Structure 1
């Protein structure tokens, strides 16, 4: 991870050292200080444009940071990933520029609420409704799983618009202060995996949102510029996060000289190949454009990476041995975490038919 560590030190100096000193076990706990450390390092402004007071990091830079975070704490990488993707992909509205200035200047976190905990349901078919008011919208519903739910300063939530002008098929993204009246957080998870990501259920009860804090996403059946950017950035960055988790295991294998030279080189080569593919897709994409081919490439790389990092994590954990697995728990934590990439939307099985039709020339539709 030489390039990735150099990027981290250039943009967020001292962050990796502090995360290493804290240790993966503490960073993966329910009381993890990871998000506090990242905030203090100036991380929330990472991809905010320089003219708005941010660090102006590129998409490739963001990939590097996510890999480093994943190697130190998969929970931290997953939580930060949602913030970074939201900042990169947020469709413009009247409040966007002021919000991004505040994110960079005050180190604020933005949580992303798209999932609603309905197995097999599309993230592009929200049940959270927005009812038209005279000068805004009233929101009701729940988002789960929602990372960053305890540390968020703002929540962005996908909603279906209900008004005389729509039939409920139009989507929008609402920007909501975390301390707004009607916003509450409820425990959602009991699994110990990724517990440091603050993934819970966020409930909205009669939450009023002004027009200037609503960004229109259009018809979810059309992979327009806003949705293309959202899927493009998410698939690349979330994959880099789990490449990082596998990298944490491989780093330990290298430090302890476990296995043979051939096995160690194989592990490194597998992960570097995945990372090179992610970087290539990132460099080719133009955010803010209608780019279904780019989204498809990001999905191809992500699905291929899933199997690669599972294979790498399994071999690395085996080479580290049973005692570290049972005693320290760190290798068990990282080994369990990498499997979670398969659970992020859209799943490989859900996209199979859509991608099969796309390669034959049909429009790409995210089911």
Structure 2
């Protein structure tokens, strides 16, 4: 993929996402039934240049803005929720590197991999602050053992972006952030993802058994049980993109429901359509505010910014779920049937609850920051 072949405008990128989504749509229901990820989807996203859309143009990528990437994910979410949410996992890792680049750090190695076709797999949601696994210091690097779940897209990914706990580090436990090729010896996938929704996201467990990680692959070593500023960056880069994919799910639920009841004049239908629109508008406005706040991945690395982003995520999640619930209520009993696509979308949209941070953890995080106690107890 060269710069000249990567879509260059928002309209071009969204139109391309729409074409890809339309192509994928006929198989979505079957993949929801079987739980199989679409390899074709990720081959197409790679070949189309969308997987490298966020990479700055000077590194061979598309130079898309943070908001533009959100629009791509939103459009995909209308057609294929599992693919959109999984693609958001790759995209947020790229976005984090763009933030680093914008703040004077060298992110060229990751950009080169992504432009060459790498699909990045994140384990950050389960690792969070303390991480897990076991690292042992050896000559030239570490031997690591861990089980990472969920790891969305691991079956189609090429690089695992993860962290490992090094309990025996001099000076106290550390967390080692690293990138491990999915094809490295000792890396395997266990197909453990069997869920209510987003069944075709391939969010299985990645098992690391005596995997060698060279020193050069360690991007950061930090104290294991202190809040790391890196996570402020990840929150600000990731959550707008992730929630944009879920907004696409709600967009399609709104469209489907209003199209299905068009022409009806029952008073309660007008009432429900108004409530449905209110919920959708609130969700869309909150997610737009997240992108405005990100300042195209130039936001300040502060606890306050992370706390505000997390607050918006929680409220957006509640209103997204309410949107799809109201879509079902608006269309009536048919929406409760598995023959209606709203049933799948209602299951899928609930996935937004489980991205960092779930509501109870978020409110504690934000409350501590607002009251000056810092993110962690």
TM-score where L is the length of structure 1: 0.86
- Alignment check: 8 A CA contact 1:12 1:41 kept: no
Aligned partner of 1:113 in structure 2 is 123
For residues 15 and 26 of structure 1, what CA distance do their matches in structure 2 show? Answer: 21
Aligned partner of 2:54 in structure 1 is 47
1:80 aligns with 2:87: yes
Aligned partner of 1:119 in structure 2 is none
**Deviations 1:62-95 (CA, angstroms, capped at 9, x unpaired):** 2222222222122112211111111122468x99
- Alignment check: 8 A CA contact 1:154 1:176 kept: yes
Change in Cα spacing, 1:213 to 1:334, as seen in structure 2 (3 Å) is same
- Alignment check: 8 A CA contact 2:134 2:144 kept: yes
- Alignment check: 8 A CA contact 1:95 1:212 kept: no
Aligned partner of 1:318 in structure 2 is 329
Give runs of aligned pairs for residues 260-299 of structure 1, distance below 5 A.
260=269, 263-285=272-294, 286-287=297-298, 289-299=300-310
Gaps of 5+ in 2: 1-7
For residues 16 and 239 of structure 2, what CA distance do their matches in structure 1 show? Answer: 27
Aligned partner of 1:185 in structure 2 is 189
CA drift of 1:144 comes to 0.7
Aligned partner of 2:63 in structure 1 is 56
Aligned partner of 1:355 in structure 2 is 366
Change in Cα spacing, 1:291 to 1:160, as seen in structure 2 (3 Å) is same
1:307 aligns with 2:324: no
Q: Which of the residues 13, 16, 19 maps onto 1:17? A: 19
- Alignment check: 8 A CA contact 1:8 1:68 kept: no
Q: Which of the residues 131, 141, 145 maps onto 1:126? A: 131
1:161 aligns with 2:166: yes
For residues 160 and 291 of structure 2, what CA distance do their matches in structure 1 show? Answer: 26
Q: Which of the residues 224, 232, 255 maps onto 2:236? A: 232
Aligned partner of 1:343 in structure 2 is 354
**TM-align CA RMSD:** 2.7
For residues 307 and 252 of structure 1, what CA distance do their matches in structure 2 show? Answer: 20
Give runs of aligned pairs for residues 205-244 of structure 1, distance below 5 A.
205-216=209-220, 218-219=222-223, 221-244=225-248
Q: Is 29-38 or 122-131 further displaced after alignment?
A: 29-38
Secondary structure of the 1:218 match is strand
For residues 166 and 78 of structure 1, what CA distance do their matches in structure 2 show? Answer: 39
Change in Cα spacing, 1:125 to 1:225, as seen in structure 2 (3 Å) is closer
- Alignment check: 8 A CA contact 1:7 1:65 kept: no
For residues 166 and 35 of structure 1, what CA distance do their matches in structure 2 show? Answer: 43
CA drift of 1:115 comes to 4.6
Gaps of 5+ in 1: 1-5, 117-121
For residues 57 and 26 of structure 1, what CA distance do their matches in structure 2 show? Answer: 32
Aligned partner of 1:3 in structure 2 is none
CA drift of 1:164 comes to 4.7
- How many residue pairs match? The answer is 353
- Alignment check: 8 A CA contact 2:163 2:175 kept: yes
Change in Cα spacing, 1:38 to 1:337, as seen in structure 2 (3 Å) is same
